[in-house]
Amino acid sequence: MEQALIKPPTLRPGDTIGISAPASPFDQQAFERGISALELMGFQVKIPGNLFRRHGYLAGSDTERAALFMKLFEDESVKAIFCARGGFGSMKLLSLLNFETISAQPKILVGFSDITGLLVTIYGRCGLVTFHGPVVTTLGKGSEKSRLALLDAIASNRPLEFKPSRAVVLHPGKASGPLLGGNLTTLCHLIGTPFEPRFEGHLIFLEDRGEAPYRIDRMLSQLKLGGYLDEVAGVMLGSFQDCGSLEHIYGIVKETFGYTGVPILAGFDLGHGPGNLTVPIGLKATLDTQTCTLQFREPATSEGRRYEGRA
């Protein structure tokens, strides 16, 4: 039986965004720039007092980070949750989360990189649309296009459409399905756990940073050998920053997915980089390599209306 999809309520001017730190500690100046960007967009920001804890390379112990995350979902005054930073640590929270509470109080959740673990698991366990987009520490230095794309995704009632800024068709075609994906390394680390993502019937998107081509090849080979790629509907590639030659990366992807015959389109501004656009995980879309577009069928949030705050 297919799980019902839950769209979180649209964010409106004056709404409160709660900040969580589910992974690594973060730079104070970058954090403050990101908070200022959210306030300039017309939102209030709630910063928990224990957000700045440090526990080695983590922003607090696992139980502390999980408790802070769940408290924001339980707080009725908080309408959206942004993650302060990625890094590492989000997957350590998965067994500590209350998915029934998250389903009962659906909210916008935004992040990327290591936050991929939370985004895909909450979608998989709760059926809640989550958002692959900037974290607080990247928002302040991000491009205007990135900030406007964030508002379009979480604070408007328009169906979204994306075009790669540097479109490269690796295999032609057209396909539809819910969108799923994020950081390749994080997705691979979920395989073999109770929280592994189910790619069947989905359009998947992949991005990464600082991984040599042979590591990209190894991770994709693992997914292929495990049969996880057999029934994907289509493939999109975001940024692969500091991963070597893009031509080499694209060749690896083309070879890996060649047996599936699905459309593959590269060059989307998703992931690490100033042009990190916000896309909804779990929402149905159509990928078309002829028009080089990713088109969603409906808005990503419920009870939406056009955003009228400051950009």
Catalytic residues: 113, 207, 272
Phi, psi values for residue 144, rounded to 5°: -60, -35
The closest alpha carbon to 270, from 129, 109, 116, belongs to 116
Structural contact between residues 280 and 300, judged by C-beta atoms closer than 8 angstroms: yes
What is the dihedral angle through the alpha carbons of 298, 300, 303, 306, rounded to the nearest 10 degrees?
-90
- Rounded CA-CA distance 105/88 in Å is 26
Chain centroid to CA 267:
17
310: Cα within 13 Å, side-chain hemisphere? 10
